[in-house]
Structure 1
Amino acid sequence: MVFARKTFFDAVRVSLFDGVLKRRQVAGLTAILDGVSDVREIDDRWLAYMLATAHHETGRTMQPVRETFAASDSRAIVVLDSAFEDGSLPSVSAPYWRRDAEGKTWLGRGLVQLTHKINYEKMALATGIDLVSRPERAMELSVAVDILFIGMETGTFTGRRLGQYFSESTEDWAGARRIINGRDRAELVAGYGRRYLAAIRQAG
């Protein structure tokens, strides 16, 4: 997919970043755009929705983040433990973020929050990256981009994939949230997706 990146960045700076793009945001956006090359053409709505998902899941930093946005695993565990103990995580039945016998934590990391050991194992198989021995690698930008693309294209996250929501006969921006997290903030992410699509098409 080839388009004028300066035009794209100028457009999203205004429509999605309140007129200011920081260096790390540009780096994250660039890494995602680089995931699509001229020999790997995809539907521009797929790219737009992946950008929108990263935008939302990272608090628009466009960089891999830990669950709770903590600066370290240890701090994230403290925050999650506190939320679990006071009943703020009603959908969580067991504290998956606590360190296992090997000292590893399977808390959320990346451009999309990859959580639970079983999901790290599935994504390790899908990407060929050893995320089981080193789950912290999900915080590396290039690895996080691979996880984002493969998970959303193939349905590795939830069993739902981009092709089910964007095809020749389908365009379901809100429904596509099921690829990641049910209906949570579905309309908000859909709005981001439409703005990213407008920028892609403006730059095309």
Structure 2
Amino acid sequence: MKLKELVAITRKTDINKLTEEQIKELQTALNQLGYPVGDIDGLVGPKTRSAWSEFKADVYEEDPVLINPDFIAALQKRVEDAGEAQDNDFSTREGTIDAIRRECRKQDIGSNAQIAYVLATVEWETNHTFKPVREAYWKSEEWRKNNFRYYPYYGRGYVQLTWDNNYKKYSQILGVDLVSNPDRAMDADIALFVLVHGFKTGTFTGRKITDYINKNKTDFVNARRCINGTDHAREIARLAEDFLNAL
């Protein structure tokens, strides 16, 4: 994505004085990089302030409310680096595993334990196929239409992206219309980004992978809370142990 609105800033500016469109662009870029801003609404709320401060701390320290051309240039560079095309091969299990590992490291889910848990989750959620799946994939579309109150925004992907607000959220982040065409969430590249970004930012349940797997602990059982409570938590933990031993 190109930062078309923010490049108009030519001097140090308080983020509270940005236009609504500039704030939305800032929120979209930060969210894409894994700094959770909440809703992309053009408002400078607590989550947006926190995400901007976190980004600035990663670049270099300065007053957390100020934005200037240097920070905008750094933000643009990181967005471009994150958006660089990868030669992903989703045709095989091994190729998909390699793609997931690369995406994890790109989005700063870097430890082997964290990557192992992401891989274990995909193994479980896709019924060992490592292919994006639809919620209740063994049922018909007509059945889903008649039984899911959030239809057509039922679960799709390597993990289940559900509800219209989440389809809208990732439409804004990715610049892809998942609202009019929710089946785009089945595209492997889109499903890959959603998988890793959701783990990093806590999109799915409010819990992030770093809450359970970090330099101080490796809790493969409770890491399931990032996706779906404790549903099959121990089975997935065992898969994660196997992946960790293989990495």
TM-score (norm 2): 0.58
Query: 2:208, 2:192 → 1: CA distance?
Result: 16
Equivalent residue for 1:68? 136
Of the three residues 121, 133, 136, the one matched with 1:53 is 121
* Structure 2: gaps spanning 5 or more residues: 1-90
* Contact in 1 for aligned 2:107/2:197 (Cα 8 Å): no
Larger Rg: 2
* Contact in 2 for aligned 1:127/1:150 (Cα 8 Å): no
- State the identity as a percent: 36
RMSD: 2.3
1:141 Cα deviation after fit: 0.7
Query: 2:217, 2:175 → 1: CA distance?
Result: 31
1:80 Cα deviation after fit: 6.7
Equivalent residue for 2:103? 35
Query: 1:38, 1:68 → 2: CA distance?
Result: 31
| Cα distance, 1:189–1:96 mapped onto 2, change above 3 Å | same
Q: Number of paired residues?
A: 157
Of the three residues 149, 153, 161, the one matched with 1:95 is 149
Query: 1:41, 1:178 → 2: CA distance?
Result: 17
Equivalent residue for 2:143? 78
Give SS of 1:35's match.
Answer: helix
Equivalent residue for 2:195? 148
Of the three residues 135, 146, 163, the one matched with 2:182 is 135
Query: 2:245, 2:176 → 1: CA distance?
Result: 33
Q: Which has the higher contact order (CA 8 A, sep 6+)?
A: 1
| Cα distance, 1:41–1:177 mapped onto 2, change above 3 Å | closer
1:79 Cα deviation after fit: 5.2
Of the three residues 136, 142, 162, the one matched with 1:115 is 162
Query: 1:166, 1:134 → 2: CA distance?
Result: 34
* Contact in 2 for aligned 1:67/1:76 (Cα 8 Å): no
The amino acid that maps onto 2:153 is: W
Query: 1:123, 1:188 → 2: CA distance?
Result: 29
Query: 1:32, 1:163 → 2: CA distance?
Result: 17
The amino acid that maps onto 1:95 is: R
The amino acid that maps onto 2:102 is: D
Query: 1:150, 1:129 → 2: CA distance?
Result: 15
1:197 Cα deviation after fit: 0.7
The amino acid that maps onto 1:188 is: E
